[in-house]
Amino acid sequence: MRIVGLTGGISSGKSTVSNLFKSHGIPVVDADVVARAALNKGTGGWRKVVAAFGQEILLENGEVNRPRLGQIVFSDPDKRQLLNRLLAPHISSGIFWEIVKLWMKGHKIIVLDVPLLFEAKMDKFTKPIIVVWVDPEIQIQRLMARDGSSEEDARGRINAQMSLDVKRSKADIIIDNCGSLDDLNEQFQKVLSEVSKPLTWTEFWRSRQGALTALALVTLGVLLCRKAFNSDDL
Ligand SMILES: CC(C)(COP(=O)(O)OP(=O)(O)OC[C@H]1O[C@@H](n2cnc3c(N)ncnc32)[C@H](O)[C@@H]1O)[C@@H](O)C(=O)NCCC(=O)NCCS
Ligand SMILES: Nc1ncnc2c1ncn2[C@@H]1O[C@H](COP(=O)(O)OP(=O)(O)OP(=O)(O)O)[C@@H](O)[C@H]1O
């Protein structure tokens, strides 16, 4: 199985690229979606976060007030680290089970969309790694336009992440998303053909088809050995 890593900065265009993959039939595991589920009311993640941050981060219905928690953690690195530490095991196991489900369905190529792929050291499980890069000023403009946030808020969120230039230096494939959506789509077509290349042998043996082939080969080997022993007995 090929697990393609997709990362970048906040609002650099990862979801836009993810949607392109999905529209070409390649499933995407979205870490933001998994992270949201890990904070749902009543879950283990929710309990730990409420115990650490207090009732004031809750809405009246008991769900986490996400903008409120965001304001707290994106302006205080210690609190952000605390939140990351509390949620990391829930996010990793959520991502793991999403991958297992896609493996069981027989998908050979999947995309892991993880904003903190390098920070969380998940990059070692993915190949190739695609970084969606964008110029910092365009990133701020798009972030403020999308979330209706202030410049201070947007800068706080961007500064909470590893710099996009550092991420770019760690990439196998770079998508430069400073241009129009048409430009992005044009680059995506090249990325798609790169990512859709035939699996390597290692990737093949990690796929469900590879595992079934290995099982069939072992079974055949056992049957042939038994037959050989039986003929010796005769
Ligand atoms: C603080 C929270 C509640 C704010 O929620 P909100 O709905 O406002 O933002 P959302 O979850 O949609 O995240 C938007 C973007 O912020 C960035 N971001 C989120 N968490 C972090 C973090 N801990 N450090 C740096 N950047 C982060 C990501 O680029 C993400 O795509 C939420 O982001 C959260 O629970 N974060 C911790 C979990 C986490 O690490 N998520 C990232 C998945 S790898
Ligand atoms: N090439 C582009 N031209 C114009 N707008 C774009 C382009 N690419 C993305 N956008 C817009 O920029 C915003 C951020 O893009 P997107 O949501 O894909 O980023 P993201 O990296 O997934 O963000 P997050 O980390 O917050 O999940 C969106 O409003 C999106 O529509």
pLDDT at 146: 95
Q: Which ligand is nearest to the CA of 88?
A: 1
How is the chain split into domains, by residue range? 1-27+108-225, 33-106
**Interface predicted TM-score (ipTM) of this complex, two decimals:** 0.95
Contact 65, 59 (CB under 8 A): yes
The model's pTM is 0.92
CA of 177 to the centre of ligand 1 (A): 21
Please give the DSSP secondary-structure letter assigned to residue 200: P
Q: What's the average model confidence in pLDDT over 39-51?
A: 97
Residue with CA closest to ligand 1 atom 5: 66
pLDDT at 230 over 80: no
| Pick among 3.30.450.20, 3.40.50.300, 3.30.230.70, 1.10.287.110: CATH of 1-27+108-225 | 3.40.50.300
Cβ atoms 9, 164 nearer than 8 A: yes
Ligand nearest to the CA of 74: 1
* Coil, helix or strand at residue 5: strand
pLDDT of residue 23 exceeding 60, the answer is yes
Q: How confident is the model over 126-157, as pLDDT tens digits?
A: 999 999 999 999 999 999 999 999 999 999 99
CATH classification of 33-106 is 3.40.50.11540, yes or no?
Answer: no
| pLDDT range class, residue 207, cuts 50, 70, 90 | confident
Residue 232: predicted pLDDT: 61
Q: Do domains 1-27+108-225 and 33-106 have the same CATH topology?
A: yes
Does residue 58 surpass a pLDDT of 80? yes
Which of 131, 142, 149, 177 to mutate to test ligand 2, by most ligand atoms within 8 A of the CB atom?
A: 142
> Is any atom of ligand 1 closer than 6 Å to the C-beta of 83?
yes
Residues with CB under 6 A from ligand 2: 8, 10-16, 32, 115, 142, 146, 177, 180-181, 184
Q: Name the residue at shortest CA distance from atom 7 of ligand 1.
A: 66
Determine the Cα–Cα distance for residues 57 and 62; give it in Å rounded to an integer.
Answer: 9
